Amino acid sequence: GYQSGSRTSGAYIFRPNEVSPIPIGEPTTSITFEGEFFNEIHQTFFHPLDNMHVSQVIRIPRENTSFLYDLEIEWMVGPIPIDDNKGKEYIHRIHVDGLNNDGMYYTDSNGRQYMERRRNHRPDFDIPDYSVEPVTSNYYPITSSMYMEDKKTDLRLTILTDRSQGG
């Protein structure tokens, strides 16, 4: 059986020690720049106990259509503290108010087609207890994009990545 802390993440599996991520908190600095075509928000986060720096740049086009809103988020992590000899994994969590996807989301399979995913479900086999590895059971590889949508409101969130990641 699975013992907490006995199996670690690897190249093809995400096994965090905690079920819920530890938030890094509110930004320590936030600066807004207004440009001709984009507005940018530059934010830094600093965790004093770990001497950890995380930063992000959010780019928002000045002109959005009434039905489509684009934004670009570029985030950087580092330096990652290693004094405690423990590995660390960082995720970027995005929340959209009013989007109810009923546990359904779609990940690209090969950059050309999407695979339907359902939270805590496998179409081909049963996993007896999702509580053993609840995060690992719901992370999938993303080649270039993933999306989720609210079928009642037609609200959709699509995430495009610049490299293969997990989602």
- β-partners of residue 30 are 43
- Give yes or no for a contact between 120 and 68, defined as CB atoms under 8 angstroms apart: no
- β-partners of residue 31 are 42
Q: What is the pLDDT along the chain (167 residues), one digit of tens a residue?
A: 344 455 777 766 777 776 677 778 888 889 999 999 889 999 998 876 666 788 999 888 887 665 667 788 888 888 887 788 877 788 888 888 888 999 999 999 776 789 899 988 877 877 777 677 777 778 888 888 899 999 998 888 888 888 888 88
- pTM assigned to the model: 0.74
Cis peptide before 79 (omega within 30 of 0): yes
Tell me the C-alpha distance between 126 and 116, whole Å: 17
Q: Taking Cα atoms as reference points, which of 165, 147, 166, 134 lies closest to residue 99? A: 147
